[in-house]
Amino acid sequence: MSGNGIARPSGAGATITLNGEMFRLAPFTLRDWGELENHLIREKRKLLLRDIADQRDALPPDVWQVEWDKALEKADKITTIPEEEIAGTWYRDKSGKVVHGVPGWVDTRPGIAYTLWIMIEKTTPGRFKSPKEIEDILLTLEPIDFADIKTGRDQAATLDEAAKNSTGPTSPPPLPTAPAAGAEIDSGIVGQEQKAA
């Protein structure tokens, strides 16, 4: 029996090495995507509030308080990451660079660290106290090691290209139909009459 191509359909994870220690990454599930969405909603709320908090010294106290109250009210209403924002820009990484929506964030160092933390926590609970601990390790890696870890994460999370086609066709091929009465049947074998043509 060949096991070729069974990793994805079986839900197998992948392994990565951080600081010389090997970790098995559990597959990234629908529940994990929900946890990721909750994390991003909290991040979006913090970003909104941080922008107003940063204006505290620039505005008169009464004006700032009104703006702060509006921001708190608006932050409480953030319960999803709307589709237009997934395609738009709302997240800034620590360097201030704007990242494009959820797919862009997942591939930032904080995004990779966060998804790794979720995946490692399933197989090695409590090994890392927070995604920040993993992010600090990622900052020390050579580019080739970082790329290898990202590839392992993508494989386990089925975010990589191979995952798109790993399970084969989604439906069986159509069954052949019987030829109509009197129709010539093409067997697919090249016969003498076809060679002569």
Average pLDDT, the chain: 75
Q: Which of 24-28, 112-116, 127-131 is least confident? A: 24-28
Q: What is the pLDDT of residues 33-84, one digit of tens each?
A: 888 888 888 888 888 899 899 999 999 999 999 999 999 999 898 887 665 4
Give the chain's domain count.
2
Kindly state the average pLDDT of the residues 159-176.
47
Q: What is the pLDDT of residues 141-160, one digit of tens each?
A: 999 999 999 988 888 877 65
In a domain, 3, yes or no: no
Confidence category of residue 16, pLDDT binned at 50, 70, 90: very high
Alpha-helix runs per DSSP H in the chain: 30-53, 61-76, 83-87, 101-106, 109-123, 131-138, 143-157, 192-196
104 has pLDDT over 80: no
In a domain, 176, yes or no: no
Cβ-based neighbours of 127, under 8 Å, separated by 6 or more:
23, 120, 121
- Provide the whole-model pTM: 0.63
In a domain, 86, yes or no: yes
Range of the domain at 152: 107-162
Distance (Å) of CA 108 to CA 21, 61, 155: 22, 36, 17
In a domain, 172, yes or no: no
Residue 89 φ/ψ, nearest 5 degrees: -130, 120
Determine the 3-state secondary structure of 46 from DSSP: helix
Closest CA to 120 of 26, 14, 35: 26
